[in-house]
Amino acid sequence: MEGVDHLASERSRAQFDVEEMKVVWAGSRHALEVSDRISRLVASDPAFRKDNRTSLSRKELFKNTLRKTAHAWKRITELRLSEEEASRLRFYVDEPAFTDLHWGMFIPAIKGQGTEEQLQKWLPLAYKMQIIGCYAQTELGHGSNVQGLETTATFDPQTDEFIIHSPTLTSSKWWPGGLGKVSTHAVIYARLIIDGKDYGVNGFIVQLRSMDDHLPLPGITVGDIGMKFGSGAYNTMDNGVLRFDHVRIPRDQMLMRVSQVTREGKFVQSNVPRQLVYGTMVYVRQTIVADASCALSRAVCIATRYSAVRRQFGSQNGGVETQVIDYKTQQSRLFPLLASAYAFRFVGEWLKWLYTDVTQRLQANDFSTLPEAHACTAGLKSLTTSATADGIEECRKLCGGHGYLCSSGLPELFAVYVPACTYEGDNIVLLLQVARFLMKTVSQLGSGKKPVGTTAYMGRVDQLMQCHCAVQRAEDWLKPSVILEAFEARSARMSVACAQNLTNFANPEEGFLELSADLTEAAVAHCQLIVVSKFIEKLKQDIPGKGVKEQLEILCNIYALFLLHKHLGDFLKTGCISPKQASLANDQLRSLYSQARPNAIALVDAFDYTDHFLGSVLGRYDGNVYPKLYEEAWKDPLNDSVVPDGYQEYIRPMLKQQLRNARL
């Protein structure tokens, strides 16, 4: 961090201990130490340079990523990094690659769905990267509806093999990351057919490419599906297409933890409960929520620092102009996102705990909390990824024109992030699952079955349908109990209203379809309540460090009151609060923005991101934006020559009115 710190005066205004906040953000002193050390390791290694990414051609870009993954793996083994350190290293290298799917989907799928023998055979190979695997579920014709997959795996009792086949064009596997060019193996999902009978979708381990020369094995057609959103961004990944022409695999490559096919071709359900699959989903989605807080905090860090550097208007008598971060409109767009980043961080932390809890219960054969945990992770995945995608783009707009330059880092961050709204469950489809769960919860309220976990508040539904918000002055909105009650009442009332409307339909399934837009809104209300309540719970913990807890309280209130303002219609329509109380909330929110203002820079410093990781001229730690923007510009290939290629053929003839005879 060379030279003058243009943001020094901002930093000196902070009213809390930034180093302690870093610990809170990281989760623990240990986590901070690891993150800090590994991020600096990556930042200082020229092999991990990424500033030229947006100007590389697809082939150059991809080869470059292969180089980085190999280099990363080399460093991981050389330095004997722990699993935690290795995963941090991949994170800070900050480039989507086949390794994400290998570690994040292929291995967990085998772990979750393989038998003991299968784990023993495949995991050591995968851990050493002697094989590279991907996760091939989605097909050209089916994504959300996994039960509609068309690929077949037909048991051949003669040879004790499965024959994997793509019967139609739409059955081509389509999208799996790492499939296009790299993976040697895949976990693929296909309909199990025995003796002409369809046993539904199951997972299989299939080798795709030769270990000798990397050529696709006989019967396999595989390639990359082409350019995706943005330059750089997700184009470092080889999302692939895959077709099978009667490819044979041994019977023991079906993942058989839950269902088995015997030598005789008998289909057997093991005594392992099917619900185990949900455990893996809880795991994967929990990592997605954690990623959301990372991506959003990164965008917020860039926009906040630049908003403190950027000055526009308001100069009196030739003095300096106003920093745009001082405009209330800028604050009302930026600070809720800052608060959201912290909120998502804490709910992510809690989800990690939830996953451990669920896993322990599963081991003890207790499935009681699973549906609730599953609905909750599905909903939080949807909520946080949608808000993050929108939030990154808002941060880009908050940077005015300069945010549109790749050197701001924001276009690529957006482009690489947005598919999180679609993969691992389309966000709307997930909300519908949450809604289904909520309707079930409401319908069982009379039955004496007590709602658990994040739906426990539904147990107090009678009270919540009646309660009146007690706010009389703006400051009353700072009380956690007041906020919680308002959010609980809103969510409960929306769910109950939906449930009542459903009773107007003779066929409940038809009713669900007809009212599905309202149902997704009830699901959102429920999920927002979870985030708010987990933030409030976090604040009940002992949090050391001067001023740290006070800042988090401000952020928590900003998050809650911003949501209240944004979804005011819900709160008013269900009668949870009055118009007068809404105005008071708004007044309180403005005052919270003023309180957050002097701490804004320090609050983003607490993310502890290196300039390398941020990858943004606008978000530089030292705030030295303009000279660096200027410097970056000249690196564009178009500036290689003063007169552009094409002048002689196209521009000159136009200017000289000599186009008539030109061949163009």
Ligand X SMILES: Cc1cc2nc3c(=O)[nH]c(=O)nc-3n(C[C@H](O)[C@H](O)[C@H](O)COP(=O)(O)OP(=O)(O)OC[C@H]3O[C@@H](n4cnc5c(N)ncnc54)[C@H](O)[C@@H]3O)c2cc1C
Window 179 to 198, contacts with a copy of itself (CB under 8 A) = 180-182, 184
Q: By C-alpha distance, which of 164, 410, 155, 452 is closest to 303?
A: 410
- Measured CA to CA, the distance from residue 393 to residue 408 in angstroms comes to 12
Out of a copy of itself, ligand X, none, what residue 480 binds, judged by CB under 5 to 8 A for its kind, is none
Scanning residues 74 to 103, which ones bind a copy of itself (CB under 8 A)?
74, 77-78
- Measured CA to CA, the distance from residue 179 to residue 136 in angstroms comes to 8
Which pairing describes strands 247-250 and 240-244: parallel, antiparallel, or unpaired?
unpaired
Binding segment for a copy of itself among 6-14, 132-140, 535-543, 604-612 (CB under 8 A)?
A: 132-140
Scanning residues 119 to 138, which ones bind ligand X (CB under 6 A)?
135-138
Examine residue 210 and tell whether it contacts ligand X (CB under 6 A).
no
Q: How far is the CB of 249 from a copy of itself (least distance, A)?
A: 20
Beta carbons of 127 and 133 less than 8 angstroms apart: no
Examine residue 405 and tell whether it contacts a copy of itself (CB under 8 A).
yes
Examine residue 634 and tell whether it contacts ligand X (CB under 6 A).
no
Examine residue 327 and tell whether it contacts ligand X (CB under 6 A).
yes
Scanning residues 576 to 595, which ones bind a copy of itself (CB under 8 A)?
579, 582-583, 586, 590
How far is residue 628 CA from its own chain's centroid?
Answer: 30
Out of a copy of itself, ligand X, none, what residue 215 binds, judged by CB under 5 to 8 A for its kind, is a copy of itself
- Compute how many other C-beta atoms are within 10 angstroms of the C-beta atom of residue 401: 7
Angle CA 10–16–18, to nearest 5: 75
Residues 6+ apart with CB under 8 A from 354: 282, 286, 373, 376, 377
Q: Which of 133, 143, 391, 411 binds ligand X (CB under 6 A)?
A: 143
Binding segment for a copy of itself among 22-30, 397-405, 442-450, 539-547 (CB under 8 A)?
A: 397-405
Q: How far is the CB of 100 from a copy of itself (least distance, A)?
A: 15
DSSP 216: B
Examine residue 426 and tell whether it contacts ligand X (CB under 6 A).
yes
Handedness of CA 69, 74, 75, 76 (dihedral sign): positive
Site track for ligand X across 153-182, x = CB under 6 A: ----------------------xxx-----
Which pairing describes strands 152-156 and 185-194: parallel, antiparallel, or unpaired?
parallel
Nearer to ligand X, 23 or 498 (CB): 498
Q: How far is the CB of 236 from ligand X (least distance, A)?
A: 11
Q: Count CA atoms closer than 13 A to 326's CA, side-chain side.
A: 11
Beta carbons of 633 and 648 less than 8 angstroms apart: no
| Residue 245: strand, helix, or coil | coil
| Residue 164: strand, helix, or coil | strand
Examine residue 149 and tell whether it contacts ligand X (CB under 6 A).
no
Beta carbons of 458 and 494 less than 8 angstroms apart: no
Q: Tell me the residue type at 143.
A: G
Examine residue 469 and tell whether it contacts ligand X (CB under 6 A).
no
- Measured CA to CA, the distance from residue 659 to residue 261 in angstroms comes to 73
Out of ligand X, a copy of itself, none, what residue 455 binds, judged by CB under 5 to 8 A for its kind, is none
Q: How far is the CB of 357 from a copy of itself (least distance, A)?
A: 31
Scanning residues 235 to 294, which ones bind a copy of itself (CB under 8 A)?
235, 238, 241
Out of ligand X, a copy of itself, none, what residue 136 binds, judged by CB under 5 to 8 A for its kind, is ligand X
Nearer to ligand X, 100 or 570 (CB): 100
**138 is known to lie in a ligand binding site:** yes
Examine residue 315 and tell whether it contacts a copy of itself (CB under 8 A).
yes
CA distances from residue 287 to 34, 80, 93, 622 in whole angstroms, order as listed: 18, 24, 17, 31
**322 is known to lie in a ligand binding site:** no
- Measured CA to CA, the distance from residue 413 to residue 427 in angstroms comes to 19
Out of ligand X, a copy of itself, none, what residue 225 binds, judged by CB under 5 to 8 A for its kind, is a copy of itself
Active site residue 537: no
Q: Tell me the residue type at 112.
A: G
DSSP 515: T
Examine residue 644 and tell whether it contacts a copy of itself (CB under 8 A).
yes
Tell me the two tokens of residue 57: 């051609």
Q: By C-alpha distance, which of 152, 271, 282, 268 is closest to 206?
A: 152
Examine residue 107 and tell whether it contacts a copy of itself (CB under 8 A).
no
Catalytic residue among 424, 485, 488, 553: 424
Q: Which of 234, 355, 571, 607 binds ligand X (CB under 6 A)?
A: 234
Q: Which of 11, 27, 55, 121 binds a copy of itself (CB under 8 A)?
A: 55
- Measured CA to CA, the distance from residue 410 to residue 394 in angstroms comes to 10
Q: Tell me the residue type at 59.
A: K
173, containing H or E segment:
strand 173-174
Site track for ligand X across 83-122, x = CB under 6 A: ------------------x---------------------
Q: Tell me the residue type at 438.
A: L
Examine residue 170 and tell whether it contacts a copy of itself (CB under 8 A).
yes
Nearer to ligand X, 23 or 519 (CB): 519
- Compute how many other C-beta atoms are within 10 angstroms of the C-beta atom of residue 444: 13
Nearer to a copy of itself, 116 or 213 (CB): 213
Q: How far is the CB of 187 from ligand X (least distance, A)?
A: 9
Out of a copy of itself, ligand X, none, what residue 101 binds, judged by CB under 5 to 8 A for its kind, is ligand X
The rounded radius of gyration (Å) of the Cα atoms in the chain is: 27
- Compute how many other C-beta atoms are within 10 angstroms of the C-beta atom of residue 16: 20
Examine residue 633 and tell whether it contacts a copy of itself (CB under 8 A).
yes
Q: By C-alpha distance, which of 531, 556, 549 is closest to 477?
A: 556
Binding segment for ligand X among 11-19, 44-52, 324-332, 575-583 (CB under 6 A)?
A: 324-332
Out of ligand X, a copy of itself, none, what residue 177 binds, judged by CB under 5 to 8 A for its kind, is ligand X
Which residue positions form the known binding site?
138, 177
Which residue positions form the known binding site for FAD?
138, 177
Q: Which residues here bind ligand X, judged by CB under 6 A?
A: 101, 135-138, 143-144, 175-177, 234, 239, 310, 312-313, 324, 327, 329-330, 398, 400-402, 404, 419, 422-423, 426, 428-429, 432
Active site residues: 424
